[in-house]
């Protein structure tokens, strides 16, 4: 009885989100393109190596700071428009520009620090973005369901762009999507089909240039993620299952049932995975579901009482890292935000292959955090400036401080 | 009684022999020397006491113990007078009261000199120690400075009245100590007469409330003291170079100054602390500690040492100061500290106002042009300071 009740709740949540209801609900990571806008970039590149730099919006000084993670030094800082808003940043290691989004604006800081204000006109408030820095492709999805596609130059200037609406094929509209590693945009449609979009072609022709294929799933897809090291496979979540789909063969390679469970976390950091929660007589069990070698696999965390606020999977390193915390009642389940709770956060790392515990580390309170496989970056709420880089594999700590002085 | 007699014996005598002291400090008379105030007050008291004595004053009203003053000092001398001696004393006083008054006035042409050597006067019976000596031929009175300032008020009055008495003359002749005169028939009749005259002046002073009149002046702190200990508190302001400069400090200072005359030497220690906040969590704090030494110059704008304004004076200082500073920059996560040292000249001006019994209050301004910076933190703070203070001092 309890499990059926949970499924009903999850289904209702998905439906509400599809209708464009309150975004502050369980599925903020679902029904979007890419990932929800976060305040910083990932610390790991697509190839698994750690980023050499990080851009982060400092909530204390309301500025964007950039740090060199290798030498751990403060590099530069930008003043932003609408500093009172929360800012979301997109940044690649191979290019030296920063995309800055807030509810009220969209701008790009180029390699010289010059700000290009409103490079593309947004009609609604940005909800999510998909970003391929290696190809300088940016897709922004807003709350009026427009899809802004932008091709950037190496210096961060806009080469070309086009905004498409949610009606992509017949009467079917977009539900969710993401960019594949080769730069194609895969979209799940309301008619349970998939659209493979040529982004560059769409921008050039000012219309959707796409190929429609069936998903072969019984229910609508609410969440899509590319599978690492594959241009052909995607993970797709419906109310019934997590499916691994081959785009070329248009077949479901494998699936994992989600009945009786609720989604605890959607994560595309670094490798896509979903964490499901089930409540049994034995307590709360978390299951992490991911794709590897054309199969859908899972790992279980029994008796996981504390909420998982962040999850990071690195299949190439055979590691799964998550952060747990005691959260407030308004905690956004599903939202893979490490900073939703800022006290008593604990990081745990497991060897993926046999779930051997590798790390069990308390994280600093009050700081804005970001994780990679090797580092924990912490930006503390210091008006003078204080940031730290902690190794996840040793007790090594590097500090940089007083970088906010000139901005006081 | 015995004490008074010993005192009277020690009074100055007529300087028949050249017993001028070996050392005599110059007399300024305007409060520039220790004892000057006491001297001027005593002379004023003599004039005031004799103001009502004229040729018409009944003789029986002079050289007697006055009503209500029987137990007072000097009364013993008067009570011991014979009727002839009393008549001689009162006659002397009636005739020469105006002379004495004139001699006691500022333009009475009497010169006074101070000495700290013992005064020896030669008389017919041999040398005698004295606290003062008068030389009528030079219209000069030499006084033992250290003895004079420690005397009681009435003792100073006795001493000077006696010496001024020597400077009066009649028929071209000055009274001397070692000759009989009138009812004073002993070999030291002259001394006994002048002692009786002085005792009568003391009695008249008490009767007219003259001591009370000048009591405030005598207890007023005197600026001619050599040694000064001072303590002050106040604020210091510094230039602002950037947002991280501390510009306001509160603190205190103390020191010692020795005056050799108008010029003096000074040493001073000061410490101050300032703190400021930037935004909501950034806290700056700086402490200053300095030792300085240098020279001082004392200047009295007013001439009258018997008044408050006459004792008030300015002191200018010029010092070399070594300043040690400690700077702290903190917020919830950072705690940075750095120290600095600076050596600089400083200049100051103080205005001293007398209180009572050698205590003073003063206002001070100092200019402290230190220049230093905290290299590691890249902060310039506390430079070019100006200090304002209010303090108290004790002089001795």
Question: Which of A381, A383, A401 shows the shortest C-beta gap to B282?
Answer: A383
Confidence of residue B106 (pLDDT cuts 50, 70, 90): confident
Quickly state the pLDDT bin for A150 (edges 50, 70, 90).
very high
Selection from A54, A404, A132 nearest residue B331 by Cα: A404
Cβ–Cβ gap B334/A402 under 8 Å: yes
Residue percentage of chain B with pLDDT more than 70: 91
| d(C-alpha A81, C-alpha B334), whole Å | 28
According to DSSP, residue A12 is labeled H
Answer whether residue A325 shows pLDDT above 50: yes
d(C-alpha A75, C-alpha A204), whole Å: 36
> Is pLDDT at A366 greater than 80 in this prediction?
yes
B58 vs B64: CA distance, rounded Å: 12
What confidence tier does A1 reach under pLDDT thresholds 50, 70, 90?
very low
| Chain B CB within 8 Å of residue A403 CB | no
Q: Could you tell me which residue, B331 or A170, shows the higher pLDDT?
A: B331
**Contacts A399 to B, Cβ<8 Å:** none
In the predicted structure, residue A8 carries a pLDDT above the cut 60: no
CA A73 to the chain's CA centroid: 26
How far apart (Å, rounded) are the C-alpha atoms in residues B136 and A113? 99
Q: What is the pLDDT of residue A155?
A: 84
Q: What is the mean pLDDT of chain A?
A: 84
Higher pLDDT, A104 or B133: B133
Backbone phi and psi for residue B78, each to the nearest 5 degrees, phi listed first: -70, -35
Task: Quote the Cα angle for A241-A243-A246, to 5°.
Answer: 160
Q: How many CA atoms lie within 13 A of A331 on its CB side?
A: 22
pLDDT confidence of residue B342? 95
Chain B contact probe: residue of A59, A380, A384 with most B CBs at under 10 A: A384
pLDDT tens string B14-46: 443 333 332 234 444 556 788 889 999 999 999
pLDDT above 90: residue A53: no
Rounded to an integer, the average pLDDT of A73-102 is 86
Query: Mean of the pLDDT values across residues B1-26?
Result: 43
Q: What is the largest CA-CA distance in chain B?
A: 100
**pLDDT of amino acid A265:** 87
> How much of chain B exceeds pLDDT 90, in percent?
56
pLDDT in tens, B59-79: 888 898 887 777 676 888 888
Q: Assess A365–B contact: CB distance below 8 Å, yes or no.
A: no
Pairwise pLDDT comparison (B96 vs B3), residue with the higher score:
B96
Report the half-sphere exposure of B62 (CA within 13 A, side-chain side).
29
What percent of chain A stands above pLDDT 70?
88
The minimal CB distance from A382 to the residues B244, B278, B332 is found for B332
Supply the pLDDT for residue A13.
Answer: 29
How many CB pairs (< 8 A) connect A and B?
Answer: 35
Return the pLDDT at A111.
Answer: 80
Residue B340 Cα, gap to closest chain A Cα (Å): 20
Instruction: Tell me how far apart the alpha carbons of residues B297 and A96 are, in angstroms, rounded to a whole number.
Output: 68
**Mean pLDDT, range A301-311, rounded to an integer:** 83
The pLDDT value given to residue B390: 98
Whether B333 and A384 lie within 8 Å, measured CB to CB: yes
pLDDT in tens, B228-272: 999 999 999 998 888 899 999 999 999 999 999 899 999 999 999
Q: Is B333 on the interface with A (CB under 8 A)?
A: yes
| Cβ neighbours for A67, distance < 8 A, ≥ 6 positions apart | A53, A54, A56, A73, A74, A75, A377, A387, A400
Mean pLDDT (whole number) for B211-238: 90
Closest of B121, B139, B61 to residue B97, by C-alpha = B61
pLDDT band for position A330 (50/70/90)? Answer: low
| Segment of A5-9, A290-294, B214-218 carrying the highest mean pLDDT | A290-294
Residue B66 has φ and ψ, to the nearest 5°, of -80, 155
DSSP assignment, residue B374?
B
Instruction: Check whether B2 has a pLDDT greater than 80.
Output: no
Q: B265 CA to chain A: closest CA distance, Å?
A: 45
Mean pLDDT of A243-260: 94
Q: Which pLDDT does position B22 carry in this prediction?
A: 26
pTM of the model: 0.77
Query: How does B26-52 read in b/e, with b if 16+ C-beta sit within 10 Å?
Result: ebebbbbbbbbbbbbbbbbbbbbbbee
Residue B125: per-residue pLDDT: 66
CB B177 within 8 A of CB B194: yes
Residue closest to B156 by CA, chosen among B71, B62, B36: B36
List the one residue out of A107, A12, A13 whose CA is nearest residue A57: A107
Q: Does A57 touch chain B (CB under 8 A)?
A: no
Given a cut of 50, is residue B196 above it in pLDDT?
Answer: yes
- Give the mean pLDDT of A228-234: 87
Decide if pLDDT at B13 tops 60. no
Mean pLDDT of chain B: 87
CB contact under 8 A, B332 and A408: no
Q: Does residue B384 surpass a pLDDT of 90?
A: no
Geometric angle at alpha carbon A208, from A203 and A209, rounded to 5°: 85
Question: Residue A387 to residues A243, A359, A370, A404, B367: CA-CA distances in angstroms?
Answer: 40, 22, 11, 11, 42
Supply the pLDDT for residue A304. Answer: 78
Gap between the terminal Cα atoms of chain B: 32
Query: Does the structure show a pLDDT above 50 at A4?
Result: no
Residue A402 with chain B: CB contacts under 8 Å: 329, 334, 336, 377
Q: Do the beta carbons of residue A136 and residue A153 sit within 8 Å?
A: yes
Query: Phi and psi at residue B90, in whole multiples of 5°?
Result: -65, -35
Please, which pLDDT band fits residue A97 given cuts at 50, 70 and 90?
A: confident
Residue B101: left (phi > 0), alpha (psi -120 to 50), or beta?
alpha
Give Cα B391 to chain centroid, integer Å: 20
Mutation for testing the A interface, residue in B241, B279, B334, B379 having most A CBs under 10 Å: B334
């Amino acid at each position: 009885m309890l499990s059926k009740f949970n499924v009903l709740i999850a289904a209702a949540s998905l439906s509400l989100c599809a209708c464009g209801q309150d975004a502050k609900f369980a599925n903020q990571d679902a029904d979007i393109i890419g990932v929800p806008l976060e305040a910083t970039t990932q610390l790991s590149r697509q190839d698994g190596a750690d980023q050499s730099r990080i851009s982060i919006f400092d909530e204390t000084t309301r500025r964007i700071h950039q740090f060199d993670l290798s030498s751990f030094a403060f590099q530069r800082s930008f003043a932003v428009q609408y500093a009172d808003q929360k800012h979301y940043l997109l940044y690649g290691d191979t290019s030296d520009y920063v995309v800055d989004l807030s509810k009220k604006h969209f701008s790009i800081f180029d390699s010289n620090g010059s700000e290009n204000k409103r490079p593309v006109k947004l009609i609604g408030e940005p909800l999510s973005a998909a970003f391929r820095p290696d190809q300088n492709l940016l897709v922004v999805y807003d709350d009026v369901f427009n899809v802004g596609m932008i091709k950037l130059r190496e210096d961060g200037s806009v080469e070309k762009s086009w905004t498409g609406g949610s009606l992509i094929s017949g009467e079917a509209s977009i539900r969710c999507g993401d960019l594949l590693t080769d730069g194609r945009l895969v979209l799940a449609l309301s008619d349970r089909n998939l659209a493979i979009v040529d982004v560059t072609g769409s921008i050039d022709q000012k219309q959707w240039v796409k190929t429609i294929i069936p998903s072969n799933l019984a229910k609508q897809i609410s969440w899509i993620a590319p599978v690492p090291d594959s241009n052909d496979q995607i993970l797709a979540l419906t109310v019934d299952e997590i499916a691994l789909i081959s785009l070329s063969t248009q077949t479901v390679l494998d699936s994992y049932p989600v009945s009786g469970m609720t989604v605890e976390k959607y994560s595309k950091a670094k490798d896509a995975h979903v964490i499901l929660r089930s409540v049994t007589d034995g307590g709360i069990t978390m299951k992490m579901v991911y794709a590897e070698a054309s199969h859908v696999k899972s790992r279980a965390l029994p008796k996981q009482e504390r909420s998982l606020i962040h999850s990071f999977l690195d299949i190439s390193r055979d590691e799964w890292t998550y952060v747990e915390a005691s959260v407030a009642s308004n905690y956004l389940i599903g939202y893979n935000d490490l900073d939703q709770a800022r006290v008593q956060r604990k990081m745990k790392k497991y060897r993926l292959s046999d779930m051997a515990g590798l790390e069990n580390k308390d994280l600093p309170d009050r700081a804005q955090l970001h994780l990679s496989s090797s580092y924990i970056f912490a930006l503390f709420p210091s008006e003078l400036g204080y940031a730290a880089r902690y190794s996840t594999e040793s007790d090594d700590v590097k500090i940089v401080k007083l970088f906010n002085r000139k901005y006081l | 009684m015995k004490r008074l007699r010993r005192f009277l014996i020690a009074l100055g005598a007529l300087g028949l022999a050249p017993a001028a002291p070996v050392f005599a400090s110059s007399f300024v008379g305007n409060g520039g020397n220790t004892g000057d105030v006491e001297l001027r007050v005593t002379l004023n008291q003599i004039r005031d006491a004799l103001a009502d004595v004229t040729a018409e004053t009944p003789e029986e009203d002079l050289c007697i113990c006055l009503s209500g003053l029987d137990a007072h000092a000097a009364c013993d001398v008067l009570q011991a007078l014979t009727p002839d001696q009393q008549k001689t004393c009162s006659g002397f006083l009636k005739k020469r009261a105006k002379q004495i008054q004139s001699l006691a006035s500022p333009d009475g042409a009497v010169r006074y000199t101070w000495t700290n050597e013992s005064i020896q006067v030669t008389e017919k019976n041999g040398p005698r120690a004295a606290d003062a000596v008068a030389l009528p031929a030079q219209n000069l009175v030499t006084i033992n400075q250290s003895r004079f300032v420690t005397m009681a008020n009435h003792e100073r009055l006795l001493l000077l009245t006696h010496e001024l008495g020597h400077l009066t003359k009649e028929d071209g002749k000055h009274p001397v100590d070692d000759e009989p005169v009138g009812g004073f028939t002993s070999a030291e009749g002259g001394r006994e007469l002048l002692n009786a005259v002085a005792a009568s002046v003391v009695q008249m002073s008490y009767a007219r409330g003259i001591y009370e009149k000048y009591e405030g002046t005598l207890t007023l702190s005197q600026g001619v003291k050599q040694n000064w200990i001072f303590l002050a508190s106040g604020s210091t302001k510094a230039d602002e170079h950037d947002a991280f400069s501390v510009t306001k400090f509160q603190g205190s200072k103390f020191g010692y100054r020795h005056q050799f005359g108008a010029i003096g030497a000074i040493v001073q220690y000061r410490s101050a602390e300032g703190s400021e906040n930037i935004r909501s969590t950034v806290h700056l704090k700086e402490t200053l500690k300095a030792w300085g030494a240098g020279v001082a110059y004392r200047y009295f704008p007013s001439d009258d040492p018997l008044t408050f304004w006459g004792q008030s004076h300015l002191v200018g200082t010029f010092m070399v100061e070594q300043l040690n500073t400690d700077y702290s920059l903190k917020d919830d996560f950072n705690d940075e500290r750095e120290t600095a040292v600076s050596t600089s000249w400083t200049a100051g001006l103080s205005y001293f106002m007398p209180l009572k019994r050698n205590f003073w209050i003063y206002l001070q301004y100092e200019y402290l042009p230190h220049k230093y910076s905290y290299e590691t933190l890249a902060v310039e703070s506390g430079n070019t300071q100006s200090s304002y203070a209010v303090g108290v001092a004790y002089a001795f």
